[in-house]
Structure 1
Amino acid sequence: MTAPPISAPATGAVARFLAGVGLLLRGLGLYLRSPRLMLLGIVPALISGALFVTAFATLAYVVEDLAALVTPFADDWSTTARSLVRVVAGLAFLGLGGLVAVVGFTAVTLVIGDPFYEKISERVEERLGGTPDAVDVPFWPSLRRSAADSLKLVGLSVLIGIPLFAAGFIPVLGQTVVPVVGAAVGGWLLALELTGAPFSRRGRRLPDRRASLRTDRPTALGFGVAVFVCFLIPLGAVLVMPAAVAGATLLARRSLGQSIQES
C-alpha cells in the first residue's frame, strides 16, 4: 500500500503534523536542485550563525554564574541540593537562550539574505505554477516591513520564554514538559517568520500569516518544529536555512489553498 503524496489532505492532528514535517523534506529536495542558489543561501546563514554561536557559547560559559545569581536562597543548602537547583537553573537559562537564539538567528538571517531567500522562494513558486495573486512590492519598503515583523516575533519569543524559564525550575515538569512546549512555541514562531517572503509577495503582513497558518495549525507546527530541531543541531541552522525557506513557501501556498504540485 503506497503512502499518499505530501500535498494530499491529511486528516487528524498527527497526520497533519507529519505532513508539515514532510514539507521541510520536500523543500530540501526542491532546494538541492539549484546548486547555485544553495551556495548563495548558505552565505547569510554562515554570517548570522557565527554571531549567534558566539553569543550562545558566551551564555554557556557564564551560565554557572547566572545560575548562582538567581538562586541566592540555596547558598546555605547542602552541596548536593545547591548543585542540583543550580543545574536546573542553568538548564533553564540555556533553554531560554536556545529559544531566543533560534528565533533571532532566523530573523537576522532573513534580513541579511533577503535577496537570496526571496529568489529561492520565487524559484519554488515558479516550479509550482507561479504566484497567481502576486503584487508589486518595492524592495526597501518590503525589507523594512519584514524586519519590523521579525522584531515583533523575536520580542514575542522573549515574552513567552520568560515564563517557560520560570517553569523550568519545577522538578520533572521543567525538564520534560517545558522543553516540548518550548519546541512547539519556537516551531510556531519559525513558521510565521519563514513564510514571510511568500506572504509579502502577495501583499500580506504578519496578521495575515498568523490567520492563514492557524487554519491548519498542526501542519504549521509540524513544519516549524522540524526546522526548530534541525536548527539546534550543530551547523544544522546554516545548512537547513535555505531549505527551510523553500519548505515555508510550500507551507504558505498550502495554507492559502494553492497547489503545491509541480506543474
Structure 2
Amino acid sequence: MSAKAADIKIAAKGLEKRYRSARGGEQIALTGVELAVPAGEFVCLVGPSGCGKTTLIKLMGGFETPTDGVLTIDGRPVTKPDPDHIMIFQDYGLFPWRTVLGNVLFGLEARGVPIDEARARAQEALQLVGLCAAAYKHPHEISGGMKQRVAIARALAVEPSVLFMDEPFAALDAFTRMRLQDELLGLWQAKGSTIVFVTHDLDEAIALGQRVVLMAANPGRIQRIIEIDMPHPRERTDSAFAAYRHELFAEFHLLHEE
C-alpha cells in the first residue's frame, strides 16, 4: 500500500532486537526490519515459530525496547505503552471479579472519564460487539468467544488510534473464530483504527489483512510483504483467495527449505 510520509502511522527503520542468553551470548530475535504502516491500515504479521512476530508487535506496543534502529508512531519514538495504542492478547486479560460492563468500564475509569460518559461509551462498545445482554455477567459465566469480544469492546471503548492484536482468536473453535473475524472487520471499517494483527493462520491473514507481512526465522526478519487486492468481506472459496493462499504456502515452503 503506497502512502505519503504524512499518512504513515507506524514506521520501523533498521529495527533490531537482541537478547542476552543465560550463558552470556546473544540471540538475535529481529534484524533489519523496515516497515511503514499507513494510518487506518489492517496489516497481518505471519510466519513460522521463532520469526519474531510477537517480538515485533511488543516493540510496537512499547512492551519491549529495540536494541537498534528506530520505531515511531505518529512520528514519535515508541518508548513505553501508550493508552492510545491498545494491545489485545490471546488470554483476554479480564478481571474475574468485574462484570462484563465493569471490565469495559475499567480503561475509561483509569482515564478519569466522568461516570455517565464512561457508561455510555461502554454500553456503545458492548452494542458494537453484540454483548449488551451479557453486561452484568461475570467472565466465568460466558464463553471464550464472548470473553474475546469483551476484550475487544474494552479496547474500543477508549477509542484507541492503534489496536495491536497478538493471536487473539488462536484458542477459539473454527466457527467462533470466523464469526469474530467478520465482527472485527466490521468494527475496523466503522472505527478506522490502525490494526496490526499477529497470526499463524494463513487463511486468517488473507481474510483480514490489506497487507500480509511474511516473516522468516533465524534471525527474525521480514521476508516479503504481499498486498491483498480483494474487497472485504472476502470469500474463502473465491479463486483469488485460493491464489493468495497458494502464494503464501509456496513462500512458507521456501522458508522451510532455507
Place the TM-score, normalised by the shorter chain, in its bin: under 0.3
State the TM-score, normalized to the length of structure 1. Answer: 0.26
Q: Which has the higher relative contact order, 1 or 2, with Cα contacts under 8 A spaced 6 or more apart?
A: 1
Structure number with larger C-alpha Rg: 1
The structure whose residues are more often helix, as a share, is: 1
State the TM-score, normalized to the length of structure 2. Answer: 0.27
